[in-house]
Amino acid sequence: MKIWKRDIGLTLRIWLTLFLLFLVYLVFLAVLSMLGVGLPFLVLLVFGMAFIQYFFSDKLVLWSTRARVIEPDEYPELHRMVEKLATDAGIPKPRVAIMQTPVPNAFATGRSPKHAVVAVTDSILRLLTPGELEAVLAHELAHVKNRDVLTLTIASFVAMLAALIMNNFLFASLFSRRNDNPWIIAGIVAIVVYFVAQLLIMALSRYREFAADRGSAYLTGRPGDLITALEKISGRMDRVPAEQKRVVESANAFFIIPALSGSTLMELFSTHPPLEKRIAALEKVEMEMRGY
């Protein structure tokens, strides 16, 4: 098994973000309890949504992206690469899927290493060298090893509850003339909590991308391959028509590089760090591995 060296500062930022989310959620639930807002149905609904999201995440993502699980005899080299990396990472070999699209990309999903799927697009297979492709696959397997689907599902649980209350409040304010003070206050609090939670969840997602990049660097021993892969994917993405990108928009948060990205001002609401920051972090890892 390869050495899986963690960045202590990055790990602390991840745990600090989770702690802040926990505090936000505690305050939110305490306010709702003091207001006497009836929550059983909403909590049950959110539990149901979280259950589906967690246990069926792999099927939902494959369905939404039209990715097809492939057998070893279809893409033997790809399967061998995934199997070797999974062995080095100390996790079971995930299922492998192919997505037919001109958008060069890759993603991983699944609630645990035993139920994981790693998917690549057919265009990324033509774009990258074997070493670069291995680095991308290692990034996705790092997500699997780090159980990122579980982390983000837990992190988004109360945000989903806040979204439901916020939507209920907004709907009621449009079509109801009742002066129901607890629900008005709860709706306003839910709006604030929802946006604060989204900021923290997006920050957590960006940290997970840095962690997966780092995991890839140590798993392959070649951070430079991931750097060139990210640059190639980003460069080709700029030439893909917008309508083709919108077809795969549902998987944006899972991709190694988002098919559709916002402006620099929207970085706080982005699931991925800017490319230049990822490359700078990988260059730092490369120096670290060389003993500088």
Residues of the chain scoring pLDDT < 50:
none
Q: In terms of C-beta distances under 8 Å and separation of at least 24 residues, what long-range contacts does 87-90 make, across chains too?
A: 87/1, 88/1, 88/2, 88/219, 89/1, 89/2, 89/4, 89/138, 89/141, 89/142, 89/144, 89/145, 89/215, 89/219, 90/1, 90/145
At residue 173, what is the residue type? S
What distance lies between CA 240 and its chain's CA centroid? Answer: 22
Q: What does the pLDDT read at residue 41?
A: 64
As a whole number, the mean pLDDT across the chain is 83
Rounded distance, CA 83 to CA 9, Å? 31
Strand partners, 69: 97
Cβ–Cβ < 8 Å for 46, 160: yes
Q: What does the pLDDT read at residue 254?
A: 83
Q: What does the pLDDT read at residue 224?
A: 96
In degrees, rounded to 5, the angle at the alpha carbon of residue 57 between the alpha carbons of residues 55 and 59 is: 100
Catalytic residue ranges: 140
Q: What does the pLDDT read at residue 57?
A: 72
Q: What does the pLDDT read at residue 171?
A: 56
Please report, for residues 33, 41, 129, 225, 255, the alpha-carbon distance to residue 38 in angstroms, rounded to integers and kept in the order given: 8, 8, 57, 53, 38
Summarize pLDDT for 154-197 with one digit per residue, the tens: 777 767 777 777 766 655 555 555 555 666 777 787 788 888 88
Q: What does the pLDDT read at residue 182?
A: 67
Q: What does the pLDDT read at residue 68?
A: 93
Summarize pLDDT for 39-65 with one digit per residue, the tens: 676 667 667 766 777 777 778 788 888
Helical (H) or strand (E) element with 208: helix 181-220
